Amino acid sequence: MTEKEKMLSGQLYSAVDPELLQELNAVKNIIHRYNALPPSAAAERLAILQHLLGGIGDDALIINQPFYCDYGKQIRLGKRFFANFNLTVLDEAPVTIGDDCFIGPNVSIYTACHSTDPVERNSRREWAEPVVIGNNVWIGGSVTILPGVTIGNNVTVGAGAVVTRDVPDNVVVAGNPAKVIRHIK
């Protein structure tokens, strides 16, 4: 298996593999172009996202600049997606976001995992766990979503929350770590 195949299957892989580093740098160049476009260049921004991302839904797709990701191809966005400024997605594993999702500014979604053991961590070997976000989800500003998390449908994630574990449907979560604070009828 290549290191990329290991990464995509959730196995330990070398994060300093030359093939992966080359792909990361190519995506950084695409992201740089995207972030340098004027806001009025909506068609060109959409064309870049269609090329970069693994899939995008119909209708209005807005990702305000700046936007950052590692690979892009592991990101799939549903219909009528909106993300405010400074969305960061570390997509070493799949990141799937449903329809009608709104993301506030300064949100980070992580799939990359590192060992807590410093010797293992310094080997530059890591693994990745997917993130799934359901339909009709509103993620408030400055939220962090950690690897392996699934957020259900009809969820609101309060500003500043750190989502460390799965979130059921029809709830509001907030805090660090995020906890259910209210059920939605």
C-alpha span between 145 and 123 (Å, rounded) = 25
Task: Enter the pTM of the model.
Answer: 0.96
Per-residue confidence (pLDDT) for residue 59, from 0 to 100: 83
Share of the chain above pLDDT 70, in %: 99
Q: Which helix (H) or strand (E) holds 87?
A: strand 87-90
Backbone angles phi, psi at 9, to 5 degrees: -100, 5
Domain count, the chain: 1
* Distances, alpha carbon 34 to alpha carbons 30, 66, 158, in Å: 6, 8, 28
Question: Is 114 a known active-site residue?
Answer: yes
CATH of residue 153: 2.160.10.10
Q: Binning pLDDT at 50, 70 and 90, where does residue 171 land?
A: very high
Q: How many CA atoms lie within 13 A of 8 on its CB side?
A: 11
> What are the tens digits of pLDDT across the range 76-108?
999 999 999 999 999 999 999 999 999 999 999
Mean pLDDT of the chain: 96
* Distances, alpha carbon 82 to alpha carbons 73, 133, 172, 173, 181, in Å: 18, 13, 19, 20, 25
> What are the tens digits of pLDDT across the range 100-136?
999 999 999 999 999 999 999 999 999 999 999 999 9
Q: Which domain holds residue 100?
A: 3-183
Find the catalytic residue in 32, 51, 114, 183. Answer: 114
